[in-house]
């Protein structure tokens, strides 16, 4: 069942009587609904489309993939917080761009699971190959990535 609005107390009681949920769930739901009231209610429920792809190697499948840098839970959750502050007008686009860049750096810079080797083909000389990571690919285009995130979520670009 999908609900687009909060459940009423009668609907919650009906679920308890049917044995679908217990009283503790109702108490937690009531507390959460109360916390969400006010100006931040739409922010807490807001889901952002976060997608920026780079090339990575999935060592489990032994294949290259288009990797979404926001797939990392820490980067994703941090980006949601940054976008909430941006929507509220607390930070400018430049600050948003810098914050997103730092989030990706924090999680995806120089970590083995986010690194690949690139080089010319054909090549027999190891010195021609270079190790790059997901952060380096993101950082080369970080401003474009921040603009894409705003565009995907229908958010305007604010000047510094």
68-97 pLDDT, tens per residue?
999 888 899 999 999 999 999 999 999 999
Cα 109 from chain centre: 17
Residue 66 makes CB contacts below 8 A (sequence gap 6+) with 53, 54, 55
pLDDT band at 45 (very low <50, low <70, confident <90, very high): very low
- Hey, where are the domains in the chain? 9-41, 53-152
pLDDT of 109 strictly over 60 = yes
DSSP 127: G
Residue 116 confidence (pLDDT) = 86
Mean of the pLDDT values across residues 38-50? 59
Residue 24 confidence (pLDDT) = 60
What is the rounded CA–CA span in Å between residue 104 and residue 67? 13
What is the rounded CA–CA span in Å between residue 149 and residue 109? 20
Residue 151 confidence (pLDDT) = 92
Mean of the pLDDT values across residues 130-156? 92
Of 18, 73, 16, 29, the residue nearest 50 (C-alpha): 73
Tokens of 124: 């027999």
Mean pLDDT, rounded, of the chain: 80
């Amino acid at each position: 069942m999908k609900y687009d609005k909060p459940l009423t107390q009668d609907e919650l009681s009906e679920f308890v009587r049917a044995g679908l949920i217990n009283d503790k769930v109702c108490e937690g739901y009531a507390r959460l609904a109360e916390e969400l009231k006010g100006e931040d209610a739409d922010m807490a429920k807001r889901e952002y489309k976060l997608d920026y792809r780079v090339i990575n190697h999935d060592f489990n499948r032994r294949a290259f993939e288009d990797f979404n840098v926001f797939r990392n839970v820490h980067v994703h959750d941090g980006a949601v917080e940054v976008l909430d502050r941006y929507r509220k007008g607390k930070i400018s686009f430049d600050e948003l761009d810098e914050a997103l860049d730092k989030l990706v750096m924090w999680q995806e810079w120089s970590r083995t699971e986010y690194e690949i080797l690139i080089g010319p083909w054909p090549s027999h000389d190891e010195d021609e190959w270079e190790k790059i990571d997901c952060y380096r690919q993101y950082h080369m285009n970080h401003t474009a990535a921040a603009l894409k995130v705003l565009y995907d979520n229908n958010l305007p670009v604010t000047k510094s």
